[in-house]
Amino acid sequence: MTLAPAPIPVWRDGRLVPFDKIEAHRAGMKHRAVSVFVIAAGRVLIQRRAPGKYHTPGLWANSCCTHPQWGEAAADCARRRLAEELGISGLDPVAAGQVEYRADVGGGMTEHEVVEIFVARAATEPALAPDPDEVMAVRWIGLEALVAEVAAEPARFTPWLRIYLAEHRGAIFGR
């Protein structure tokens, strides 16, 4: 028996209500999200989204991102997804601000997200155990090298990562 995914918080009539995640993306509804950047030894961890993802498969993104479940605090969601997507535990993600964006993510879907950004810093690269249903590859890269890659080949990267780097880099990375 397959369980239906937990509902996510979307805005309807000026208030948050629980709603189906895929339907929210099909309708382009504004909803809550969480993005995490893991930074260690001066490099940021990025992931390539698994081929089976319902949107933006195979594109490079920030360390991890998701939607909080109905009633879930953003910080708890950030820690949960670090463990679920990347097998990372023991890091304490710190809130780095809120971003709202709207982007076409293909397949008739639109991300209209109000994102809580978190940064998890580590002295050394943490051990990783990526979930292959979520992540097809990971790599560590310096911020300036990442910015240069995104500028040179933007189609290889998710719309939200391009937006974060172009418009919110200082708030996320302190530069």
Bridge-partner residues for 48, per DSSP? 60, 137
- State the catalytic residue, choosing from 64, 65, 111, 116: 65
DSSP state of 157: B
- State the catalytic residue, choosing from 64, 77, 85, 113: 113
Contacts of 159 (CB under 8 A, 6+ apart): 56, 101, 103, 104, 105, 111
Q: What share of the chain is helix, strand, coil (3-state, %, to 5)?
A: 25, 40, 35
The answer to whether residue 65 is catalytic is yes
The answer to whether residue 153 is catalytic is no
Catalytically active residues are 65, 113
